[in-house]
């Protein structure tokens, strides 16, 4: 059953601290959903049919290598191979207690049978978060944290910071060739440290990245209550402009802009997660064209043939006010917003479960198979049509 809700009034919001400590991050706690607001008028869309079967264990890592948390999955230029960035068999590639980077690779390519055919990225990311494959087949990965020194939770505000790492990593976007060669890096290592002057061309908590037909680059930034913005660069990495701020207004305000996608008309869809909505904006001016709540609290968004695939990994488990909405992947039209399908969370149906569950990242191959990248369960799920 398809439902559409469009809202033209301002939304009230509440924000919870993210947990920035010192210059780095000890944990990246998601901002909570506002306990009130326009999203409350949207009836939960939990009743659409599920036309897919879940296939677990499809992608095979090397012998002895276990999956870490992953929120990053994308389709190769060939339409059938899959790219995934994961967090080094854990939820971070930086061992803060030991002050060392993981020796594991973190970016993987799988062929259409699930066989791993390429890997790279060791030592380059702390918290790989978003991934994008451009028209030329290059792979872009965002890093949402850094290895700058951070005080442990509960430590006194004047407690000494740990030693500075030998190599600062994090809060950047890296462009790779398909064979893993670094072609471009956006932002300075370690990013814009909270409380210090910010360079608009550098980043802090970049969530996702997407490229325009002319090669321009757009980064969605802000994973908590410090800030939120869109940052645009030209194809060489030169900063062009920034847009937006933290908030819940209907134009120019975001609260965790967590995913980006274009439809066939060139409109930009933004998964504005902690505002429980999709913002559809003009891709040049970033002025809001429409606001949709029926796709739920989206962590990830993918559009193929004007079908929207939206991944909700937090309703109820991270965002108690949104508990009436079931976690999972909602499928619907980019043209009219009607929901036509829903894949419920295959890993956890416990309504009291906590944490980031179900798919956070989502992608769809040329054959229509859906892939869900899961943070809490540490899985890559494949969904095939029944």
Q: What is the 3-state secondary structure (H, E, C) of the chain?
A: CCCCCECCCCCCCCCCCCCEECCEECCCCCCCCCCCCHHHHCCCCCCCCCCEEEECCCCECCCCCCCCCEEEEEECCCCCCEEEEECCCCCCCEECCCCEECCCCCEEEECCCCEEEEEECCCCCCCEEEEEECCCCCEEEEECCECCCCCCCCCCCCCCCCCCCCCCCECCEEEECCCCCEEEEECCCCCCCCCCCCCCCCCCCEEEEEECCCCCEEEEECCCCCCCEEEEECCCCCEEEEECEECCCCCCEECCEEEEEECCCCCEEEEEHHHCEEEEECCCCCCEEEEECCCCCCCEEEEECCEEEEEECCECCCEHHHCCCCCEEEEEECCCCCEEEEEECCCCCCCCCCCCCCEEEEEECCCCCEEEEECCCCEEEEEEEC
**162 vs 206, more confident:** 206
Average pLDDT over residues 88-103: 96
Radius of gyration of the chain (CA): 19
Q: What is the pLDDT of residue 348?
A: 74
- CA angle, 262 then 78 then 210, to 5°: 25
Domain edges within the chain: 20-385
Q: What is the pLDDT of residue 354?
A: 86
Q: What is the pLDDT of residue 41?
A: 80
Please give the share of the chain, as a percent, with pLDDT higher than 90.
78
- CA angle, 44 then 46 then 48, to 5°: 125
Lowest-pLDDT range, 115-129, 148-162, 234-248, 263-277? 148-162
- Given a cut of 90, whether residue 316 has pLDDT beyond it is no
Pairing of strands 94-95, 100-101: antiparallel
Lowest-pLDDT range, 233-237, 277-281, 356-360? 356-360
Average pLDDT over residues 261-265: 98
Q: What is the pLDDT of residue 235?
A: 98
Average pLDDT over residues 367-371: 98
Average pLDDT over residues 4-19: 33
Q: What is the pLDDT of residue 12?
A: 27
- pLDDT confidence band for 19 (50 / 70 / 90): very low
- pLDDT confidence band for 359 (50 / 70 / 90): very high
Q: What is the pLDDT of residue 6?
A: 45
Kindly compute the dihedral angle of the four CA atoms of residues 259, 321, 41, 309, in this order, to the nearest 10 degrees.
30
**101 vs 317, more confident:** 101
Tokens of 262: 């274009």
**88 vs 152, more confident:** 88
- Rounded to an integer, what distance in angstroms lies between the CA atom of residue 331 and that of residue 334? 10
Average pLDDT over residues 14-26: 34
Q: What is the pLDDT of residue 168?
A: 97
CA-based end-to-end distance of the chain? 19
Average pLDDT of the residues of the chain: 90
Lowest-pLDDT range, 21-30, 130-139, 208-217? 21-30
- Rounded to an integer, what distance in angstroms lies between the CA atom of residue 289 and that of residue 272? 14
Q: Which CATH superfamily is domain 20-385 in?
A: TolB, C-terminal domain (2.120.10.30)
- Given a cut of 70, whether residue 261 has pLDDT beyond it is yes
Q: What is the pLDDT of residue 55?
A: 96
Q: Residues for the chain: how many in total?
A: 386
Tokens of 212: 């325009």
- Given a cut of 60, whether residue 25 has pLDDT beyond it is no
How many C-beta neighbours within 10 Å does residue 267 have? Answer: 16
Q: What is the pLDDT of residue 36?
A: 58
Q: What is the pLDDT of residue 10?
A: 28
Exposed, middle or buried by CB within 10 Å (0-12, 13-18, 19+), for 196? exposed
Q: What is the pLDDT of residue 356?
A: 85
- pLDDT confidence band for 355 (50 / 70 / 90): confident
- pLDDT confidence band for 37 (50 / 70 / 90): low
Predicted structure pTM score: 0.91
- Given a cut of 50, whether residue 8 has pLDDT beyond it is no
Q: What is the pLDDT of residue 225?
A: 82
Dihedral angle sign, alpha carbons of residues 344, 346, 347, 351:
positive
What would the pLDDT profile of 299-308 be if each residue is shown by its tens digit?
999 999 999 9
Q: What is the pLDDT of residue 34?
A: 55
């Amino acid at each position: 059953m398809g439902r559409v809700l469009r809202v033209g009034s301002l939304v009230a919001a509440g924000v919870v601290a993210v947990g920035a400590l010192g210059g780095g991050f000890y944990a990246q706690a998601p901002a909570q959903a506002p306990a009130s607001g326009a999203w409350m008028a949207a009836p939960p869309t939990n009743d659409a049919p599920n036309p897919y079967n879940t296939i677990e264990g499809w992608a095979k890592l090397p012998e002895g290598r276990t999956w870490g948390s992953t929120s990053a999955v994308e389709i190769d230029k060939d339409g059938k191979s899959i790219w995934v960035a994961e967090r080094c068999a854990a939820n971070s590639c930086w061992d803060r207690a030991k002050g060392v980077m993981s020796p594991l690779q973190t970016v993987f390519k799988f062929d259409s049978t699930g066989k791993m055919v390429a890997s790279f990225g060791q030592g380059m990311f702390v918290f790989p978060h978003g991934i994008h494959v451009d028209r030329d087949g290059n792979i872009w990965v965002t890093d949402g944290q850094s290895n700058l020194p951070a005080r442990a939770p509960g430590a006194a505000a004047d407690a000494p910071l740990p030693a500075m790492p030998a190599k600062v990593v994090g809060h950047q976007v890296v462009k790779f060739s398909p064979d893993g060669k670094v072609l471009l890096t956006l932002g300075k290592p370690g990013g814009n440290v909270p409380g210090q002057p910010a360079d608009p061309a550098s980043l802090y908590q970049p969530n996702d990245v997407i490229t325009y037909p002319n090669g321009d680059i757009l980064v969605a930034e802000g994973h908590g209550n410090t800030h939120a913005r869109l940052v645009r660069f030209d194809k060489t990495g030169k900063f062009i402009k920034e847009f937006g701020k933290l908030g819940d207004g209907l134009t120019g305000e975001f609260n965790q802009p967590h995913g980006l996608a274009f439809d066939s008309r060139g409109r930009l869809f933004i998964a504005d997660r902690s505002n429980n909505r999709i913002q559809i904006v003009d891709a040049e001016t970033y002025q809001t064209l429409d606001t949709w709540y029926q796709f739920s609290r989206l962590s990830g968004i993918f559009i193929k043939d004007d079908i929207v695939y939206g991944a909700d990994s937090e309703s109820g488990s991270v965002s108690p006010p949104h508990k009436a909405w079931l976690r999972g992947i909602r499928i619907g039209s980019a043209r009219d917003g009607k929901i036509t399908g829903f894949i419920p969370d295959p890993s956890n149906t416990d309504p009291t479960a906590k944490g980031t569950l179900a798919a956070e990242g989502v992608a769809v191959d040329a054959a229509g198979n859906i892939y869900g990248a899961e943070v809490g369960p540490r899985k890559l799920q494949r969904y095939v049509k029944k």
